[in-house]
Amino acid sequence: MPSWRDTEPGERLVSQRKVVIMVDVPERTAGPDIDALDILRRIAPLQCEPDALGVKEAGIANAYAELMGELGIEAELLEVEEGRPSVIGRVRGSGGGQSILFNTHLLVPTSPLEEWHYDPYAITVEDGKAYGMGVSDTKAGIVAMMLAARQIAAEGPMGDVIIGLGAGGERAGFIGTKPIVERVRPDVAVVCEPTSLDIVYVQYGCLWVTFTVRGKQGFVDAGVSALHKSMPLYRALLELNEEVRERRHPLLPPSKLAINALQAGEHWVLTPHQCVVKVDRRIIPGETVQSATEEFEAILATLRSEDPQFEASMELALALPPVEMSAESSIVAAASSAITDRRGKAPQLLGIKGFTEMVHMYQAGVEAIICGPGSTAVIHAADEYIPVDDLYDAVDVYAGIARRITATPSAAG
């Protein structure tokens, strides 16, 4: 029996169609018997991995916009960076109710194709699990939000139900989710990352820092080795990590940093003129981007005072504040009630050690949670799967959340 690997790669490519500004809602939409697993099968062939395949969002965004149109959801493409559109879907309410945004990213993490036992671009159901590339992160969440919006549309909501599929992959949504939030300005939001349908309202902040230590190239022992000059910095960073790991939050692992790259030199006999040190710093509520940055600056100042030949600079490649939403917010209450109704037990209220697009809701003053089908334990890896029950539960949970929120009178009245 041929395996999925026997298919020619070209047969699986998504066509890069012309970017459409608005997708008309057809008069006749998909019937009431539409099935979530069938929709997941339809989107499984979408190749969304930017790292392995160099994929951009245009074809993917068009595919989702067209699918929304079939489901009776108004859709438009929002393009901040050329060739990289986001998708905004909307079910318009009659007025007077709060609006809710369901959000996630269009691109999915890359995992090694050669390690897959199942066809990554089809859905294989086995032992109650649906296997496929990106199903947990986050194709199943996208299916659930679309079908939930379709359900609420049939009920005639007072407030808008909005879907935001952001460009930019997992680089924090600066060209996708951030402009979506600014455009639609929802009252509340749900980020549909995998949480096994528990509720996450706290997440790490993050700094990606690049230190560049400079020396002078020379032959054999001539010059000034930037690699040698970087060693005191390396030791100081390790000492800082020991210090910050004492800082705690009840819902997160300790504050921390990791030195994940040390790059210097290319030849056996040449003294390296430059050494690059890349650091991932995770910060918890109570810390700030500024305070974490100042700790790095203090290290550099100390090293310069101790060694007049020490020359280094620091650049922030990413700077995100930590997020702690209110556990007493209306979106937490609505989600807890909807999950309990569907599953017969209350969800856990948790923190997440990564970062998500929730940071843009936080900065815009929008109450938000992370809540989605699937588990982070299986993402970014071969044989990613979603429990089939999670998929169906998520449709009902999202509909329940939207139903409660859109029936709540808006402040604007």
CATH of residue 240's domain is: 3.30.70.360
Q: Are residues 58 and 121 in the same domain?
A: yes
In a domain, 243, yes or no: yes
Q: What per-residue string of b and e applies to 134-171 under the rule 16 or more CB within 10 Å gives b?
A: bbbbbbbbbbbbbbbbbbbbeeebbbbbbbbbbbbbbe
Helices (DSSP H) in 286-412: which residue ranges?
289-306, 330-343, 358-363, 388-406
Q: Which residues pair with 74 in a beta bridge?
A: 90
Domains: count for the chain: 2
Residue 72 CB contacts under 8 Å (≥ 6 apart), including other chains:
25, 26, 29, 30, 150, 153
Tokens of 172: 């924090």
Residue 12 has pLDDT above 70, yes or no: no
Q: Are both 178 and 276 inside the same structural domain?
A: no
pLDDT mean across residues, the chain:
89
Residues 184, 333 within the same domain: yes
Instruction: For residue 371, give the CATH number of its domain.
Output: 3.40.630.10
Give the whole-number percent of the chain exceeding pLDDT 70: 90
Q: What is the pLDDT of residues 189-227, one digit of tens each?
A: 999 999 999 999 999 999 999 999 999 998 877 899 999
Q: Quick one: residue 169, left, alpha or beta (phi over 0 = left, psi -120 to 50 = alpha)?
A: left
Is residue 193 domain-shared with residue 63, that is, in the same domain? yes
Residues spanned by the domain of 300 = 205-320
State what percent of residues in the chain have pLDDT above 90: 78
On whether the CB atoms of residues 154 and 62 are closer than 8 A, the answer is no
* Helix, strand, coil share of the chain (percent; to 5): 35, 25, 40
Same domain, 146 and 276: no
pLDDT (tens digit per residue) in 87-137: 999 999 999 999 999 999 998 877 888 999 999 999 999 999 999 999 999
pLDDT range class, residue 52, cuts 50, 70, 90: low
Q: Which of 16-25, 275-284, 380-389 has the lowest mean pLDDT?
A: 16-25
Q: Which residues have a Cβ under 8 Å from the Cβ of 347 and sit 6 or more positions away?
A: 197, 198, 199, 335, 336, 339, 340, 371
d(CA 205, CA 250): 15
Same domain, 182 and 242: no
* Dist. CA 227–CA 295, nearest whole Å: 22
Cβ atoms 407, 139 nearer than 8 A: no
CA pair distance 76, 22, nearest whole angstrom = 4
Model confidence, pTM: 0.88
Which residues, 6 or more positions from 392, have their beta carbon under 8 angstroms from its beta carbon?
A: 36, 37
Sign of CA dihedral 46, 48, 49, 53: positive
Does residue 128 belong to any structural domain of this protein? yes
**Co-location of 271 and 215 in the same domain:** yes
| In a domain? residue 360 | yes
Q: Could you tell me the CA-to-CA distances from 365 to 41, 99, 269, 276, 361 in Å, in that order?
A: 36, 14, 56, 37, 6
Residues 32 and 115 reside in one and the same domain: yes
In a domain, 412, yes or no: no
Within a domain: 327:
yes
Q: Which of 320, 337, 353 is the last residue of a domain?
A: 320
Task: For 374, list phi and psi in degrees, rounded to 5.
Answer: 90, 175
> Tell me: the pLDDT tens digits for 283-327?
999 999 999 999 999 999 999 999 999 999 999 999 999 999 999
* Any domain includes 141: yes
Of 320, 342, 359, the domain-final residue: 320
- Tell whether 10 is covered by a domain: yes
- End residue of a domain, out of 320, 344, 365: 320
Number of Cβ atoms within 10 Å of the Cβ of 325:
22
Neighbours of 364 (CB within 10 A): 14
- What does each C-alpha distance from 282 to 199, 247, 376 come to in angstroms? 21, 11, 18
- Give me the pLDDT at residue 108, please: 84
Which band of pLDDT confidence, cut at 50, 70 and 90, is reported for residue 31? very low
Amino acid at 159: G
Quick check: is 45 in a domain? yes
Q: Count how many residues are written for the chain.
A: 413
Is residue 375 located within the same domain as residue 241?
no
Q: Are residues 16 and 157 located together in one domain of the fold?
A: yes
Do 189 and 50 share a structural domain?
A: yes
Lowest mean pLDDT among 21-30, 75-84, 191-200, 318-327: 21-30
Q: Is the pLDDT of residue 32 over 60?
A: no
How far is the C-alpha of 88 from the C-alpha of 186, rounded, in Å? 12
Residues 156 and 67 in one domain: yes
User: How far is Cα 209 from Cα 224, in angstroms, rounded to an integer?
Assistant: 24
Structure-token pair, residue 360: 């843009």
